[in-house]
Structure 1
Amino acid sequence: MLEITRKLIDLLDLSPIGDDHFQGDSEDLGFPHVFGGQVLGQALMAASRTVEGRLCHSLHAYFLRPGNHSMPIDYEVQRVRDGGTFSVRRVIARQDGKEILTGSMSFQVAEEGLSHQFPMPEAPEPETLKSEQELGQLLVDQVPEKLRDVLTRDRPIEIRPVNPGNPLKPEKQPPYCQNWFRALGPLPDDPVLHRCLLTYASDFSFLGTSMAPHGRTFMNRNMQVASLDHAIWFHRDFRMDEWLLYDKDSPSASGGRGFNRGNFFTRDGVLVASTTQEALIRERQG
């Protein structure tokens, strides 16, 4: 396993600090605040630590305040219900005594049932595409020094955009986006870890889908962007150390908010997870 991947696994490996209370470190990815996917992934890990024999099938969370990546995050898990098939947990993430995220997760005993899915959309093979880091290297001489590390730093999750645009010179595009995702290096056979890693990765390059029709990116100085909420449904088992296609669209944007949807497919076309997110995409005036 690569060292950078081990660091991410350690980031998700929370420390118990009391009954149903856990603490996780924060990671600085070069963003102004804690990456939302980190808080989501750690929150799911905290909830999963209080459930046995059941895997998460859905997650719904609200981002309440931006997180400070120089401080640890405390997670309180509330046991809402344990039924014969389903268990529900509520999670509150806090920094400095203030809530930064609240969410609910539902867990289910494995069972057979009716099954169908949308077909996987067409996409080029990941081997034919450049990674985000390789694309960032092409722009590194055109951005301020403080942004260079954001574009080129190594990540434990490799992302290969299907139709990459130039974030410095964005053009209006249809509200659709595709990326191939996988963790670098082999991972343990732990389905909880794979779900937490997908949760972490699902926040990358998501809200940008709703800005594409307007020719805006997170690098536009007059744009205030932030994730407002996030939901995930896990449909089938998968591995994060194998390529997954993240197929996204944005049906609507209005009122300073952009709505985004996504589906994760395995390379052989199995739909394993679906996501939605509403994001703040406010254009500052003046």
Structure 2
Amino acid sequence: MTDQSISKPQGAARSTKGLMQKTINHLIQLQDLLIARAQQEASMEDVRLEQLDAAIQAMYEQLPPPIAAQFKRIEKKAVLGIVPVANGVCSACGMSLPVSLVHSVHAADRLHTCPNCARMLFYPESSPRNIGKRQRRSEPPKVGIERFSAPELMIPDLASTERDDVLAELCSKMEAEGFVDNGRLLLEEALKREAIAGTAIGHSLAFPHVRGVEGGGLTLALGVSAKGVKFGGPGRALTRIVFFMVIPTAASAFYLKLLSGLAQVFQKEEAREKLMGHDSPEKLWKALIKVTKPLIR
């Protein structure tokens, strides 16, 4: 399969890079809404689906028809329709891209697609990277939630009761423990995601996340608050358990499965209570492993 370029609408041949970049940004925002909708379904919360559906339809209507049609065709076959180029590689399928194609994607004079998976490509601005610690060969294979997290990413007593401050605390924890390279950028992306659609759901749970964090695998940090956090949940209910995830592009589909599993486990009050009241990260970590073991393997 050869590289495909999606031409601009008729009459736009002289469009500047800025105009095409605007279309690319629009597609990224549309994709974020589609992911937000999928997240709502995975977390078994359908209270916002109509609102999200209306926003998605409006964004489709604002695109040039050929681009909207192309994006719909791709999106029906895969979770993601537009993905970043990371170190010369399509971040969705892992194919090394020709240098000339990478330069063309960076120029953003028109839309290009991956020659292998046919997803649209874009060149990202500066973004945080996952630099998580790699498992040593001598260590036994990890299973369940241990594949995605570690004791040092547990916060048994969040300091703040405000959403933005809690996100800052979790991002700082990921940077301080050597899992991401830039906590400030990570926080900026997390807040952008919250602006699209809040990630707090019922049962005192929230699942904030940042996608497109390349360089490692899906990584999860957990923060617990006995006082409760104003996270914007349904009916303004306080959130007490916050699962914060950073997700590489290639793991987007798996993330939804993990989210569904976590939501299913912690719908039960008994499971939520087992995460409360711990006085050390190690104790919270052991409780998380134990309560998720039946469903997350």
TM-score calculated relative to the size of structure 1? 0.26
Structure with greater helix percent: 2
Greater Rg, structure 1 or structure 2? Answer: 2
